[in-house]
Amino acid sequence: MARSEIRCELSWSASRAREFDRCRRESWYARYASWGWWTERPRGEKWRAMVHKNLTSLPAFTGDCVHRAIEGWFRARARGATLDAEELFVEARALFRTGWRQSAGGGWEQRPNKSVHLDEHHYREPIEKARTDAARDLLLQSSRTFCEHPDLEPVRASEPDSWRAIEALDSFELEGVKVYAVPDLAYERDGVLEIVDWKTGKPREEDRLQLGIYALYAHAKWGTPFDRVRLTAAYLGAGEVKRVPVDAAWLDEVRATAAESIARLAELHYDPDVEDTDLDRWPTDGAPRACRWCRFRGICEGALEGNGGGGSGEGQG
């Protein structure tokens, strides 16, 4: 196979680390199975893997709608307008409805790597009204928390010239590897760099790792001293805002945790353009407990062999 113009290089993120720890075969499907799909003629296994890679669940999609609506809130703020909770909810709901129609109606097929394609639609699983009601409630509660929680007043009052990053994909280098970071909001206030992460799920311990990575990113990107970084996790669905203290010892732990994870990924990393695939190195170690929710369950042999398999409900793609 001719080498692609871009190379399959090792990179790391907190989400990729979770994926790798959950199931190595899932990680392989997500990072290597679809590599080069854009050159595949006719469409085949790589294309199919790419379609599955871009599936998203209803809760994840709902959370994404919240993130995009808040990003729009900041765009409006930059124009001198401020959306209230009801207006923000309307924006989030519109994003949800548009994505839902795209997924349910097959519109995703035109650009499957850039479109909304729900796991539940792909596998033709029924979505009870209680779940869509819960999604609506999450959009509403998240909008209210963002617009009304007193601890987020400094965020809402921040001026555009203080904003450093809003939902901007970027990276820095750690252990010689590109590490991705997408801080939801980074802005300056009283000489401190405030980094805020919007969460629509329940608090998890791994959220601290992600925020710690953002502190390392801020230091690498802007040279911000760690004692001038303040981290906040805003759990919008739960109506909670939590500060994450920053100190040198904890950041050393974050750096060590990331370095250890990078080393595990590096041990198995390969270039599928020039190297053969050895799936024995990528076992289905997440089966059967992780198969039920895995987006690759329709094409993964670990799921198809009955380890929690959802292959019988395979949809288009």
**pLDDT single digits (tens) 40-86:** 999 999 999 999 999 999 999 999 999 999 999 999 999 999 999 99
> 285 with 24: CB under 8 angstroms?
yes
Asked if the model's pLDDT at residue 1 lies above 50, the reply is: no
Amino acid at 99: G
What are the structure tokens assigned to 68, written together?
């995009």
Of the candidates 262, 253, 165, 265, which has an alpha carbon nearest to the alpha carbon of residue 209?
253
Average pLDDT, the chain: 94
Tell me, what's the pLDDT at 304? 76
Integer CA distances (angstroms), 233 to 12, 105, 162, 183, 266, in order: 21, 35, 19, 11, 30
Give me the residues paired with residue 196 across strands: 185, 232
Count the Cβ atoms, other than its own, within 10 Å of residue 33. 24
Q: Is 37 helix (H, G, I), strand (E, B) or coil?
A: helix
Largest separation between any pair of C-alpha atoms in the chain: 58
> What are the backbone angles phi and psi of residue 108, rounded to the nearest 5°?
-65, -25
The domains located in the chain, with CATH, are 58-148 (no CATH), 156-266 (3.90.320.10)
Distances (CA, A) of 277 to 265, 281, 306: 15, 9, 24
Tell me if residue 50 falls in helix, strand or coil.
Answer: helix
CB atoms within 10 A of CB 289: 11
- Average of per-residue pLDDT across 32-38: 97
Number of residues that make up the chain = 317
Note the pLDDT tens digit of each residue in 258-269.
999 999 999 999
At 302 the pLDDT is 86
Question: For the segment 95-105, what is each residue's pLDDT rounded down to a tens digit?
Answer: 999 999 999 99
Antiparallel, parallel or unpaired: β 177-181 and 11-12: parallel
37 vs 15: CA distance, rounded Å: 22
What are 195-253's pLDDT values in tens digits? 999 999 999 989 999 999 999 999 999 999 999 999 999 999 999 999 999 999 999 99
- Percent of all residues in the chain with a pLDDT value above 90, rounded to a whole number: 91
User: In this structure, are residues 1 and 273 in contact, taking their beta carbons and an 8 Å threshold?
Assistant: yes
Model confidence over 110-149: pLDDT tens digits? 999 999 999 999 999 999 999 999 999 999 999 999 999 9
Which amino acid makes up residue 40?
A: E
- pLDDT score at 306: 56
Residue-wise pLDDT tens digits, 181-192: 999 999 999 999
Per-residue confidence at 310, pLDDT binned at 50, 70, 90? very low
Q: What is the pLDDT of residue 227?
A: 97
Looking at residue 287, what is its pLDDT? 87
Averaged pLDDT for residues 280-292:
92
Predicted local distance difference test score (pLDDT) of residue 314 = 60
Using DSSP's 3-state secondary structure scheme, residue 97 falls into helix
User: Looking at residue 307, what is its pLDDT?
Assistant: 46
Q: Are 69 and 98 in contact (CB under 8 A)?
A: no
Query: According to the model, what pLDDT value does residue 315 have?
Result: 53
Global pTM reads 0.94
DSSP state letters, 118-140: BHHHHTT----HHHHHHHHHHHH
Give the tokens for residue 106: 């097959």
Is the separation of the CB atoms in 24 and 268 below 8 Å? yes
Residue 241, helix vs strand vs coil: strand
